Structure 1
Amino acid sequence: MLDDVDQPVTNVYEEEVKRFRRENGTAGPVPVFGAWKSTLYRIRKTLLPPTPVSLSSIIIPDDMCYNNSKKEFLFCNSPTPHKVIAFASEQALKLLSNNPHWNGDGTFRTSPALFTQSYYFHVCDEFSMKPIIFSCCEDKSEESYRQLLQSLFTHATKNNIVLNPSTILIDFEQGMVNAINDVFPHALVKGCHFHFAQNIWKKIKKYNLVTLSKQENIRRQIANIIALPLIPPNEVNNCMEKIIDELCNYDTKFEKLTDYVIKNYIEDARFPVQMWNHFDTIGQRPRTNNHLEGYHRQLNARVRTNPDLWTWINEVKSSEESVMCRYEQEQAQKRTTRPRKGKYIQDDNKLMLAKKKYIEDQDFDTYQKTLRAVSHRYIHIIKDAKDSSDEE
């Protein structure tokens, strides 16, 4: 089974031990993993091409340019600097073409050795979110992102597939924002609401405001800041003025925080309101990339930290095959393979109902109270989460 290079060596060992036990009635004679570890990894290494020692030395074998269905898969293998390797099947390109709302996010932990990060694009169709584009980038530069997107566009065009996304939801990474605007100028770049909340909380920690933020009146205003993406765009300035009055009148230490919010998200901001505000699309499509973070956690469980390039490519091939199986099942059976948790459905239903009621009676205070519940949940998640290099 070691020749199944898609499987981690530890998984292969466990399956072989189980098989031996079934056939012989006991697993007692099988050497423990530690005794065989070096031998098993040495055998596995002989089944893969030599591990690249530099980006410029990478030569991707022909069989790794195709997916497990023997269809063309590799669409980008750019030179250094800003090297990008990226994969997508023709079927994946068609899914991208048919679904105008994309989500993109990167991860560092499972990116292959020699590369700074892996970057994935997912589509959200009527049934579930699915990873479609798999890439690894030498760095997080605008040039790398532009190379990835331009290669994707060119590859799709070569296959007579039109890519014209309406929205692309990402974190607040300026390089990717600029690259999207260059390659897909008609796409509206949207900022992930959860990343917005993370950015606010990081500043609260940076400015030593965590203790002050535990007081009820302060907690309320912090929640109001995090809820800004869910209020009508024309209410943002007025709401922010009230937040500033409450916070800065209580303690001038909050001026750094409110200045940060204004500079980055409100007035002549790095990230304009239309990028991070989700009021118009509440209940229509995801406003966070939490689905993608879940996919990254699955990768972390299957792949060791910073695997060699060949292991990463084989994992990508396996992942793409699983995605297409899911897609075909969903289309045939008209049901999702990834049911959402009930609490998230309830949250969305509460938001949709609150938005509808606000539009009808224009009671902003009541609407804002509902939004604070979402904000407090985000704060709890962020505070409880371990620091991660995958966070922006």
Structure 2
Amino acid sequence: MSAMYGHRAKRFPKLPEHRRDQQIPDAFRTTMAGEYFMLGQSASRHILVLATSSNIRLMATRRTWALDGTFKIVPQWYQQLFTIHAFAAGKLLPLVYCLCTDKDIGTYGFKSQALIIRAAALEVDLNPDTNICDFETALIPAIQGYFPNARAVHRIAGELGLKTRYRQHEETRRKIRMLLATAFLPVPHVNTGVSLLEAGTTGTLAALFQYFRQEWMTDERLPLWNVHNIRTNNHLEGWHNRLNRKAGKSHNGLYELLQLLIAEQGVMDTLIQQVLSGNAAVGDLRRVNKVYAQKQRQVARYTGEYTNVRRTLKQFLEALIRVRAAMYGHRAKRFPRLSEHRHDLVLADQFKTTKSGEDFLLCQSNCRHILVFATGTNIRLLAACRTWGMDGTFKIVPQWYQQLFTIHAFVAGKLVPAVYCLCTGKDIGTYGYIFQALIDKAAVLEVDLNPDTIICDFETALIPAIRGYFPNTRVQGCYFHFCQAVHRKVGELGLKTRYRQHEETRRKIRMLLATAFLPVPHVNTGVSLLEAGTTGTLAALFQYFRQEWMTDERLPLWNVHSVNIRTNNHLEGWHNRLNRKAGKCHNGFYEQFHILIAEQGVMDTLIQQVLSGNVTVGDLRRVNRVYAQKQRRVAQYTGEYTNGRRTLEQFLAALMYLTPEPI
């Protein structure tokens, strides 16, 4: 791993052993334009605050800020990237970036104090009218303590229960939606509105109103969710999603993330200067979403009519729930209406075939609630390929479903998606249904599904299902996930600091991971060699390793001796790309199918080329030279060990540099 990632180390400085010793190099303290970017750093609280003077001046001119955090792309040592944005002519501009290890009042206080001190030096005043944020316990008092004149406004984002009754009974749905619409009333009118809706309720619906009064209608909380003037920070979460897509992966290195933020600040610099100079208008900053603009106008009109007593309170709430229905009505025109229950689901014809007209829906189980998609051509591709990869993603699945499980074929080193399954469980029965459907379709097509190897995660139900339906296939666990599981145990045993600080400990652990490259009969000898003389928590790690990984059943799963494809990271990379194409979590049911049909359309031509024999490695992918070099080194060291030119210890010492570090 050291050699494989050596080219990255040339781009970024080496991190110290401890975050308290972190000194940010000058190259990461300024923007592309040369303006100072590092606003503050707390060695005790482990916080980095990044903002230019221009950013602070812009904040001072803005009356509304938005605050939120993202956790996906933060580097090791940190818990979240917390950002502060300002609304300028309807556009959300990122102005302050904070890497922090905690979410307590002290953390938010340090950031707020750093901004206030910098503003004082610039002779500007930070005093927004409104801060929009999530319902976070520590953030609210920090805002109120450092910006006492600002009002914290939060999104209504909780599910209120009664889901089945909400879907089935119009009157229940109407009451709950009107209850949510009370957020648009002036604060003094909210109690009257809730009382109007609460009258005559019984049972669970009455319990819902009781919960609503206790949880949301206290003097302290009611002003937080009331949106009489302003509503959500979805603009900000959209920016976080775009930043996550730019990052391209979870948990970037510290300097990779700083480089990303400096680039983002570079994009914003010109725009910020335009805003400060007064040369930016709404038209310069954004395209207006016509549907949402229409909604805003309708809300303003209904609010005016209610204020001027041209609408009663009940008429006002009824009008507001129609606005929401109308706002999403244009989406409903694109996709069919879902049935009330998933067991009544009948897919519309346009979602059963690919763009080229080939049948795409392979089978549907109404009792197990599984949908399996694959064309006949895809099944033939699986039959022609000796190695498959299997994995699931959970991020973009629509309601009713737990995961999108996919099966891919390795063709000349390229991973080609062949089967897509929406399922509600992760049990042997679910996977068995999917595999049987594939085998049945293969029999109709007169082809045989009998891969040599299937690469998958160490999933309890999946492995026995594979062995049951494909008894002649070797199941190979993902080597990367095996290494990360061991690294997690290192953390649980309190060895993380020792791993970073003590070369001998790090060497033993990485050589332990390298035993996966030994022939299976040699693994026990290798582990015993490394285990000799260990004590305390390090001895406990070896004990865990023997109990968890060295059973007769599990050892062959993570052993990668003479294996060219060791991980299913290719497949997880595809899932990440699919997630980025989706653009959001938990798509609508038919939105998801739209994405899968489009993905199949992209693959159709490639699959035809593979089946016809008209495709080579060069047609399918550019070879990554670093990884190709790694493969050659593994082959070289394995040959030298097999021929007796390297001892077992020398073999492990050479290969330890190719083992993954913890993420």
Shared fold per TM-score greater than 0.5: yes
* Separation (CA, whole Å) in 2 of partners of 1:317 and 1:220: 48
> Amino acid of the residue matched to residue 36 of structure 1?
V
Q: Does 1:319 align with 2:599?
A: yes
Aligned to 1:3: none
Aligned to 1:297: 576
Alignment equivalent of 1:99, drawn from 357, 372, 385: 385
Alignment equivalent of 1:57, drawn from 344, 361, 382: 344
Q: Does 1:309 align with 2:589?
A: yes
* Separation (CA, whole Å) in 2 of partners of 1:59 and 1:36: 30
* Separation (CA, whole Å) in 1 of partners of 2:411 and 2:649: 34
Q: Relative to structure 2, which stretch is displaced further, 305-314 or 91-100?
A: 305-314
Aligned to 1:340: 623
Give the SS at the match of 1:47: coil
Aligned to 2:329: 42
* TM superposition shift of 1:156: 1.5
Cα deviation 1:60-80 (Å, max 9, x = unaligned): 112211111111111121123
Q: Does 1:228 align with 2:515?
A: yes
Aligned to 2:264: none
> Any residues of structure 2 matched to 1:1-392 within 5 Å, and which?
28=283, 32-37=287-292, 42-52=329-339, 54-80=341-367, 82-214=368-500, 215-246=502-533, 248-249=534-535, 252-269=536-553, 271=554, 273-281=555-563, 285-303=564-582, 304-328=584-608, 331-332=613-614, 334=616, 335-363=618-646, 364-375=648-659, 378-379=660-661, 382-383=662-663
Give the SS at the match of 2:475: strand
Does the 8 Å contact 1:102/1:124 carry over to 2? Answer: yes
> Amino acid of the residue matched to residue 61 of structure 1?
A
For the structure 1 residues 42 and 253, does the alpha-carbon distance in structure 2 shift closer, same or farther, using more than 3 Å as the test?
Answer: same
Does the 8 Å contact 1:167/1:187 carry over to 2? Answer: yes
* TM superposition shift of 1:127: 5.0
> Amino acid of the residue matched to residue 599 of structure 2?
S
Give the SS at the match of 2:430: helix
Does the 8 Å contact 1:85/1:136 carry over to 2? Answer: yes
Does the 8 Å contact 1:111/1:312 carry over to 2? Answer: yes
Aligned to 1:13: none
Cα deviation 1:225-267 (Å, max 9, x = unaligned): 2212211212100111123225x32xx1234422322122213
> Amino acid of the residue matched to residue 644 of structure 2?
D
* TM superposition shift of 1:30: 11
Does the 8 Å contact 2:454/2:476 carry over to 1? Answer: yes
Give the SS at the match of 1:322: helix
* TM superposition shift of 1:94: 0.8
> Amino acid of the residue matched to residue 137 of structure 1?
C
* TM superposition shift of 1:365: 2.6
Give the SS at the match of 2:527: helix
Larger Rg: 2
* Structure number with higher relative contact order (C-alpha < 8 Å, ≥ 6 residues apart): 1
Does the 8 Å contact 2:515/2:652 carry over to 1? Answer: no
Q: Which runs of 5+ in 1 are unaligned?
A: 1-9, 11-26, 384-392
> Amino acid of the residue matched to residue 98 of structure 1?
A
* Separation (CA, whole Å) in 1 of partners of 2:413 and 2:505: 40
* Separation (CA, whole Å) in 1 of partners of 2:426 and 2:624: 33
> Amino acid of the residue matched to residue 606 of structure 2?
R
For the structure 1 residues 336 and 225, does the alpha-carbon distance in structure 2 shift closer, same or farther, using more than 3 Å as the test?
Answer: farther
* TM superposition shift of 1:328: 4.4
* TM superposition shift of 1:28: 4.8
> Amino acid of the residue matched to residue 229 of structure 1?
A
Aligned to 2:253: none
* TM superposition shift of 1:40: 7.7
For the structure 1 residues 292 and 333, does the alpha-carbon distance in structure 2 shift closer, same or farther, using more than 3 Å as the test?
Answer: closer
* TM superposition shift of 1:301: 0.8
Give the SS at the match of 1:60: coil
Aligned to 1:389: none
Give the SS at the match of 1:59: coil
Q: Relative to structure 2, which stretch is displaced further, 188-197 or 156-165?
A: 156-165
* TM superposition shift of 1:42: 3.3
Does the 8 Å contact 1:351/1:370 carry over to 2? Answer: no
* Separation (CA, whole Å) in 2 of partners of 1:75 and 1:131: 15
* TM superposition shift of 1:52: 4.9
* Separation (CA, whole Å) in 2 of partners of 1:84 and 1:212: 47
* TM superposition shift of 1:279: 0.7
* Separation (CA, whole Å) in 2 of partners of 1:85 and 1:139: 12
For the structure 1 residues 60 and 212, does the alpha-carbon distance in structure 2 shift closer, same or farther, using more than 3 Å as the test?
Answer: same
Aligned to 2:302: none
* Separation (CA, whole Å) in 1 of partners of 2:285 and 2:338: 30
* TM superposition shift of 1:332: 3.5
* Separation (CA, whole Å) in 1 of partners of 2:653 and 2:429: 43
Does the 8 Å contact 2:512/2:527 carry over to 1? Answer: yes
Give the SS at the match of 2:619: coil
For the structure 1 residues 349 and 179, does the alpha-carbon distance in structure 2 shift closer, same or farther, using more than 3 Å as the test?
Answer: same
Give the SS at the match of 2:614: helix
Aligned to 2:14: none
* Separation (CA, whole Å) in 2 of partners of 1:316 and 1:229: 36
Does the 8 Å contact 2:377/2:607 carry over to 1? Answer: no
Q: What TM-score does the superposition give when structure 2 sets the normalisation length? A: 0.49
Does the 8 Å contact 1:145/1:176 carry over to 2? Answer: yes
* Separation (CA, whole Å) in 1 of partners of 2:519 and 2:562: 8
* TM superposition shift of 1:34: 4.2
> Amino acid of the residue matched to residue 314 of structure 1?
H
